[in-house]
Amino acid sequence: MNVIYKITYPNGKIYIGQDRTDDILYFGSPNRELVEKDFTREQKRDFTIRKEILWESETASIEEVYHMEFKLIRKFQSNDHNKGYNKNPKF
């Protein structure tokens, strides 16, 4: 199952990514430095994130999955560093 998910961090910023295995434990690969700089050591001690599935398809091609991922990144503006952690496509 192909899925596009949205991760929401405690500061309200988001990351949108894809998973072509629908792994419940996969939380994406945002830039670690970008995320870490937004939280103090104390905030990191109790840290909750939310994962939502925004889109899924059993039959989509890899190209279709990438297209949908970029479409949703643009829709939610998660590539705007004030709103999210996606670096591509450029805001």
Domain boundaries, the chain: 2-76
Residue 39's pLDDT is what?
Answer: 97
Checking if the pLDDT of 37 tops 80, the result is yes
| Other beta carbons less than 10 A from residue 79's beta carbon | 19
pTM of the full structure: 0.92
The reported pLDDT for the residue numbered 30 is: 93
Quick one: how far is CA 39 from the chain centroid?
A: 17
Q: Sorting pLDDT into bands at 50, 70 and 90, what band is 89?
A: confident
Check residue 48 and give its pLDDT: 96
pLDDT band at 80 (very low <50, low <70, confident <90, very high): very high
